A and B are shown apart, each in its own frame.
Chain A
C-alpha cells in the first residue's frame, strides 16, 4: 500500500536532488532544471497531502505552482540567453563580476 509517507519520501528525495543540483552543477541550464525538480517535489508534497486530507485546495495550489514555474522557466531561459550573449558560455562560475 502506497501511503502519504511514500510520497513525502519521494518528494524529499526529489527536493534534495534539486537542491544539490542547484548548488553543485556548473551548467546554468542544469541549474534551471534542478530548480524545476524542487518545484515538482513541492507539487508532489502538495498533491499527496491534498489527497490525504481530502482538500482540493492543495491541488489547486499545485496548478498555480506549475504556472509560476512556467513563468520562471521563461525568465530563466531569457536570463540564460542574455548571459550567453554576454559571456559566450553557460558556466555559472563565470558570473562573478560582482565578487568583492
Chain B
C-alpha cells in the first residue's frame, strides 16, 4: 500500500474519530476511556500516516514536484469565458497534494495535534462524560479541517478546510457555552473571521476569472511564466487573499477576536489559537507567494500590516495580567512577524517561524494550562507566583519555551526570528521594490518588538513562577504538578523548542548554505519568475548575499542584545526585593500610557462604538424600513385585496347571484302556472289538440 497515494486518509482518520465521538459517544454518554481512545487513535493515525506519506514522498520522488491525488471530481461547471477571452473548464476536483510546503505543515500539525490531544486527556478529565466526548469530537473535527486545509491542492479545497477550522474554532471557543461571555467570544471570532473569508472568497473568484483554474499546479506556473501580464491581477488577488489571512491570522485590524478566543479550554488555545489554525493565513500567503512576488504593492501591504501588528500587539502584552491574554497578544505579535517576513520576501523564514512558533507557543499555552489547572481555574497572574517549587516540570518547560520565544541562542525562536529580522533588514539594504526605507523602518519596529517580546514573556515567567505565592493559603494547598499526560507533551515540546531551530541553521554565515535544511527543502515552493533579473524575491536573496558578513553578525548580536535587554528589564521590574515597585512607579508616572495599554488601545471599544454600533444602527434602520415600507406595502396590498374582495363579494351576492336567482325564480313562477296544464289526463290532451286544430281551421277559413 502506498501511503503517498492514499494521502486523503490522513484527514479521514480524525474525521471518523469526530463522527464517532460526536454521534455515538456524546449521545450515549460513553465512558471517557472509550472517547479518549477513539480521539487519540484518530489523531495518532493521522500523525503516523501523514509522516509515513511524507517519508515515502521524500524518498521515492525527486521531492521537487507536488504529488497530487484526486479523490473525486467535485464541481463540474462546464465551460466558461474567463477574463482574457478564452474558454476555461470550471472543473474542480476534491484533490490533495503533498509537496514540500504541505509536508512541513502536515508534519508539525499532526504531531503537535496529537500531543495536544494527549494533553487534553489530562486537562479535560474533570468534565462530564458527554462534554468530554463533545470536546474530543470538536478537536478531531478540527484536525480533519486543518489537514484538509494544508493538503488541498486547489484554493477551493483549501477554503473548505479554512471554513472548517473556523467552525471548529467557533465551537471550541464557545465550548463552555453556558457561560455568556464564552458564547459571545465564539460568536465574535466567527463574525470577525467571516469578514476575512469574504476577501478570501473574492480572491478565489478572481483567481478563476484570471487563470481559469484553481489548482495550485496550474495557477502558479502560469503566473510565474508571464509575470508582466499578471502583475495587476496579482495585486488584486494578493490583497484579497491577504484580507482572508488578516481575519484568520488575527492581524490589524481584525486581531480582536484572538484575545477573546482564550475563553476556550487552554489546549484549544494551544492547538488552534497558537500553533495551527492562526498560522493558516501565513501558510496561504506562502502557498501563493508567486502573487506577492509579482506584486510589490501587495507585498508591501503584507509587510506593513505584519510589522505594525507585531509591535502593536507586543505593547498590549506588556501590561496584561491574565496569563492567557499575554500569550494571546504574544501570538498576534508573532503572527505579525511571520507576515512581516513574508512581506519582505522571506517566505521560507515565515514558514520556519510558523513551525518553531508552533513548538514553543504550544508549549507555553500548555504550560499555562497546567498552571491554571493547578490554580483551580485562576488566570490572573497577580494571584500566582512561586509556582516553581510546586510544579517543576511545568516551570522548566515553560522557561525553555520562553527563552525560545525571546530569541536566545541556540533555542528555536532565535533562528527563526533572526532569519526574519535579517531578511527584513536585507530588504531595506537591497532596496526591495524601491521601498527600502520603509523596510528599514519595519526592521527597526521589529527589533523594538523583540525587546518587548522578551520583556513581557519574562514578566510572565517571573510573575507566575518566581517570588511568593499570592493566591492565598487555601489555593496554595491545592497546588500540584499535573499528570503525565499533561507533562509529557510539555517535555516533548520543550525539547523541540530547544533543538527545533537547527532545521534552519543559518549556514550561509559559515559559507555552507546547505546547512539550512528547511530552506533547501522548501526551495521548490518558491517558483522562479521568468522576467529576467527583476524577480522581486531575487532582490532579497541578492541583497542577503550582499549584506556584508560582518553586518550579518552585527544583526545577530543586535537581536540577541534586544532579547537580553528585555529580559534584564523584566528581571529588574519583577524580581528581587523591590519587585513590582518600578512598574508601579512607571504606571503612576505615565498614567495615560498605562491605561492605554491596559485597555488594549480601546480597540474593542472603538469597534463597538463604530462598527458594531454602526451595524446595529444600520440594522435598526433596515428594520424600520422593513417595518414601515416593506410591511406597509405588504399590509397595503393586503388591505387593498381585502377591500376589493369585499366589493367583489357584494357584486357577487347582488348582481351575479341575483341574476342566477332571477332566472331560477322566473322558471319557478312560470312552472307553477304552466303545470296546471299538465293534467295528466290523456284524453284532455287529445281534446286540446282537436280544439286547437279546429281553431286553426277556423282561422284558416276566415283569412281566405
Chain A 68-93 interface mask (CB, 8 Å, partner B; 1/0): 00000000000000000000000011
In the bound complex, CA of A73 to CA of B676 (Å): 31
Determine if A98 and B680 form an interchain contact, defined as CB atoms under 8 angstroms apart. Answer: yes
- B694 nearest in chain A by CB position: A19
Which residues of A12-34 are within 8 A (CB) of B? 19, 22-24, 31
A99 engages B683 (CB within 8 Å): no
Q: Does B585 belong to the interface (CB within 8 Å)?
A: no
B window 664-681: CB within 8 A of A: 674-681
B683 contacts across to A, CB distance below 8 A? 22-24, 31, 92-93
Is B676 within 8 A of A100, CB to CB? yes
User: Does B551 reach chain A (CB closer than 8 Å)?
Assistant: no
Nearest to B675 among chain A residues (CB) is A100
Q: How distant is A83 from chain B, measured CB to nearest CB, in Å?
A: 10
CB distance from B324 to the nearest CB of A (A): 104
B660 interface contact, C-beta 8 A: no
> A95 — which chain B residues lie within 8 A by C-beta?
680, 682
Whether A3 is near chain B, meaning CB under 8 Å from some CB there, is: no
Residues from chain A with a CB closer than 8 A to the CB of B680 are 95-100
- Which residues in A have their C-beta under 8 angstroms from that of B690? 19, 22-23
Task: Say yes or no: A100 contacts B686, CB within 8 Å.
Answer: no
Which of B674, B676, B682 has the largest number of chain A CB atoms within 10 A?
B682
Name which residue of chain B comes closest to A95, CB basis.
B682
A99 to B684 CA separation, bound complex (whole angstroms): 11
- Complex Cα–Cα for A19 and B681 (A): 16
Bound: A93/B678 CA distance, A: 13
- Across the interface, name the chain A residue whose C-beta is closest to B687: A23
Report Cα–Cα, A100/B680, bound state, in Å: 7
A93 contacts B676, CB within 8 Å? no
Interface residues of B in 272-299 (CB under 8 A from A): none
Residue of A22, A97, A98, A99 near B686 (CB, 8 A) is: A22
Contacts of A96 in B (CB 8 A): 679-681
Assess the A100–B681 pair: CB atoms within 8 A: no
- The closest CB in chain B to the CB of A34 belongs to B686
Chain A contacts of B678 at CB under 8 A?
98-100
Q: For residue A17, give the distance in angstroms from its CB to the closest CB of chain B.
A: 13
The residue on B at minimum CB distance from A19 is B690
How many angstroms from the CA of A93 to the CA of B680 in the assembled complex?
A: 8
CA distance A99 to B682 in the complex (A): 10
Checking A23, A31, A99 against B679 with a beta-carbon cut-off of 8 angstroms, the contacting residue is: A99
CA distance A97 to B681 in the complex (A): 9
Which residues in chain B, 493-539, are within 8 Å of chain A measured between CB atoms?
none
Q: Give the chain A neighbours of B674 by CB distance below 8 A.
A: 100
Chain B residues, CB < 8 A from A92: 682-683
Give A24's nearest chain B residue, CB to CB: B683
Interfacial chain A residues near B686, Cβ < 8 Å: 22-23
Residues in B neighbouring A31, C-beta threshold 8 A: 683
- List residues of chain A with CB within 8 A of the CB of B679: 96, 99-100
What is the chain B residue whose CB lies nearest that of A98? B680
Among A51-76, those with CB < 8 Å from B are none
Residue of B nearest to A28 (CB): B682
Once the chains are docked, how many angstroms separate the CA of A14 from the CA of B372?
136
- List A contacts of B682 (CB < 8 A): 92-93, 95
CB-CB under 8 A from B677, the residues of chain A are 100
CA distance A36 to B492 in the complex (A): 133
- Tell me how far the C-beta of B384 lies from the nearest C-beta in chain A, rounded to whole angstroms: 113
Most buried by B among A93, A98, A100: A100
Complex alpha-carbon distance, A95 and B682, angstroms? 7
**Min C-beta distance of A11 to chain B, whole Å:** 15
* A99 and chain B: residue at smallest CB distance: B680
> In residues 102-153 of chain B, which contact A (Cβ within 8 Å)?
none
0/1 interface trace, chain B 219-262, chain A, CB 8 Å (1 if under): 00000000000000000000000000000000000000000000
| Smallest CB gap from B680: residue in A | A99
Inter-chain contacts of A98 with B (CB < 8 A): 678, 680
Which residue of A has the minimal Cβ distance to B688? A23
Q: CA A92 – CA B682 in complex, angstroms?
A: 7
A86 → B minimal CB distance (Å):
14
CB distance from A70 to the nearest CB of B (A): 21
How distant is the Cα of A34 from the Cα of B681 in the complex, in angstroms? 17
Q: Which residues of A have CB within 8 Å of B681? A: 93, 96, 99
Closest-by-CB residue of B relative to A22 is B686
Contacts of A93 in B (CB 8 A): 681-683
Closest chain A residue to B693 by CB distance? A19
**Which B residues are in CB contact (< 8 Å) with A23?**
683, 686-687, 690
Mark contacts of B81-116 with chain A using CB atoms, 8 A cut-off: 1 yes-contact digit, 0 otherwise. 000000000000000000000000000000000000
Select from chain A the residue with minimum beta-carbon distance to B672. Answer: A100
Q: Whole-angstrom distance between the alpha carbons of A15 and B64 in the complex?
A: 129
Report Cα–Cα, A79/B382, bound state, in Å.
123
Most buried by B among A22, A23, A99: A23
A87 to chain B, nearest CB (A): 13
User: How distant is the Cα of A93 from the Cα of B677 in the complex, in angstroms?
Assistant: 16
Nearest chain A CB to B624's CB is how many angstroms away? 74
User: Given the complex, which residues of A lie within 8 Å of B675, measured CB to CB?
Assistant: 100
Q: Please report the C-alpha to C-alpha distance between residue A19 and residue B683 in the assembled complex, in whole angstroms.
A: 10
Closest-CB distance, B673 to chain A (whole angstroms): 10
Chain B contacts for A22, CB-based, 8 A: 683, 686, 690
**CA separation between A93 and B687, bound complex, in Å?**
14
A88 to B171, CA, bound (A): 97
Q: Which residues of B contact A19 (CB under 8 A)?
A: 690
CB distance from B535 to the nearest CB of A (A): 113
Q: How far is the CB of A89 from chain B (nearest CB, A)?
A: 13
Q: How far is the CA of A97 from the CA of B678 in the complex (A)?
A: 10
C-alpha gap A97/B679 in the complex (Å):
9
| Minimum CB–CB distance for A32 against chain B, Å | 12
> Which A residues are closer than 8 A to B by beta carbons?
19, 22-24, 31, 92-93, 95-100
Residues of chain B at the chain A interface (Cβ within 8 Å): 674-683, 686-687, 690
**13 sample A-B contacts, Cβ–Cβ < 8 Å, listed by A number:** A22-B683, A22-B686, A22-B690, A93-B683, A95-B682, A96-B679, A96-B680, A98-B678, A98-B680, A99-B680, A99-B681, A100-B679, A100-B680
**What 7 new A-B contacts, CB under 8 Å, besides A23-B686, A92-B682, A100-B674?**
A19-B690, A93-B682, A95-B682, A99-B678, A99-B680, A99-B681, A100-B677
Going nearest first, the 8 A-B pairs with the smallest beta carbon separation are A99-B680, A100-B675, A100-B678, A96-B680, A98-B680, A23-B687, A22-B686, A92-B682
